[in-house]
Each structure stands twice: as C-alpha cells, then as structure tokens.
C-alpha cells in the first residue's frame, strides 16, 4: 500500500487546484477521510480475516463500488459540508478511488479488487514505481519506510503539487487582474 500520510495528498492537491470556493474546509476534511478509510480493512488482518477475502486487505474497501458508496454519502452530506452535491460526490469518490489506484502502483501485496463485490480479481497496474509501505508504525520508521517516502515524493507528492499549482494559476488567470 502507499503510506497513510500520502493518501491525503490527492484530495489536498485537488482542493488546492479547485480553490476554497469549490472545496470548502469541511468537504476537504471529508475527502481526506475518504482517502484514508479504505485501509480500515487492515484491522481485519489482526482479527484473522484472510488477506484475499472479500473484506480482506485491498478487497472491498479498495473497490470502485466502495468509493461510489462514499461519494453518494458525500452527496447526501453536501449541505453539511458546505458544498454542492455534485462536487461533494465527485471529490469524495475520487479521493476514495485514488486510494486503490495508488496502492495498485506499489511493488507489493496481492493487488486491488477494483471491481469487488462483482469481481474479486485483484489487479496491479502495469507500472509499479511506488515502494509498498509496511503495515505498522515501527516498520515505517526504518530504511524501508524511507524508501517508501522517497518513491511517494516523486510519484505522488510532486505530481499533485504540480496539479495544485497549475489549478491555482489557472484560477488566478481566469479571475483577471485585481483592481484596487
């Protein structure tokens, strides 16, 4: 998996690109949570849930169906999040879906059950530049964790920073020159 500190970079980058008038703070917080919640399935590992099971790690909670369900909840909660329904649905869906996408770019695990519960086949993307993150704090603070952060900086953080800066620049350009 990508590390828990990297998954929120996607909604942060999108929010910075779109701006606070489109993505208010409460929606951003919900999107950050949506980007991280798929890894709640790691609790199952400690409870004896088989890694390859429907609710095992990188199974149902990493699927597009799960992301769609979270997106639908975001649409329902949009008024409380201070956002338009379509924006809330889309941002929360993309944030949750990005979790599985990032994990499918890693070097380890059994793959991602993108189409669960309809198809439990696990997939990786053909390019795997992100070092798989260890599960657990102690292992993360090791040379392995350092390799993970280095790969995530290059393949996740830098592209999302570029997107955020491009979006902010475009918004500034569309507003035109500020008078007085």
Residue pLDDT, tens place only, 14-41: 999 999 999 999 999 999 999 999 999 9
- Helix, strand, or coil (residue 156): helix
Q: What is the mean pLDDT of residues 109-123?
A: 96
Query: So what's the pLDDT on residue 97?
Result: 98
pLDDT tens per residue across span 81-115: 999 999 999 999 999 999 999 999 999 989 999 99
* pLDDT per residue as tens digits for the range 170-179: 999 998 776 5
Q: Phi-psi bin for 178: left (phi > 0), alpha (psi -120 to 50), beta?
A: beta
Q: Which whole number is the average pLDDT over 155-163?
A: 98
DSSP bridge pairs for 123: 112
Q: Is residue 134 predicted with pLDDT exceeding 90?
A: no
What is residue 104's predicted lDDT score, i.e. its pLDDT?
A: 97
Domain ranges of the chain: 9-171
Q: How far apart are CA 129 and CA 175, in angstroms?
A: 38
Q: Quick one: pLDDT band at residue 180, thresholds 50, 70, 90?
A: low
Cβ neighbours, 10 Å, residue 69: 15
**CB of 87 within 8 A of CB of 81?**
no
pLDDT of residue 136: 77
- Taking a C-beta distance cutoff of 8 angstroms, is the pair 34, 95 a contact? yes
Which residues contact residue 125 at a Cβ distance below 8 angstroms, ignoring those fewer than 6 apart? 101, 104, 105
Spatial distance between the Cα atoms of 79 and 29, rounded to a whole number of angstroms: 14
Long-range contacts at 170-177 (CB < 8 A, ≥ 24 apart): 171/18, 171/19
Cα angle 75-78-83, degrees, rounded to a multiple of 5:
120
């Amino acid at each position: 998996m990508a590390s828990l500190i990297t998954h929120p970079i996607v909604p942060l980058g999108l929010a910075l690109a779109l701006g606070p008038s489109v993505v208010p703070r409460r929606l951003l917080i919900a999107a950050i949570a949506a980007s991280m919640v798929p890894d709640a399935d790691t609790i199952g590992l400690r409870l004896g849930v088989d890694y390859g099971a429907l609710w095992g790690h990188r199974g149902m909670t990493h699927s597009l169906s799960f992301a769609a369900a979270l997106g639908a909840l975001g649409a329902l909660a949009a008024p409380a999040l201070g956002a338009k329904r379509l924006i809330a649905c889309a941002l929360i869906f993309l944030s949750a879906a990005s979790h599985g996408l990032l994990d499918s770019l890693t070097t380890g695990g059994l793959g991602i059950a993108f189409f669960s519960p309809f198809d439990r086949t696990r997939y990786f993307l053909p390019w795997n530049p992100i070092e798989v993150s260890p599960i657990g704090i102690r292992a993360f603070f090791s040379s392995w964790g350092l390799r993970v952060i280095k790969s995530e900086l290059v393949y996740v953080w830098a592209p999302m920073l570029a997107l955020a800066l491009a979006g902010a620049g475009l918004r500034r350009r569309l507003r035109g020159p500020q008078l007085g």
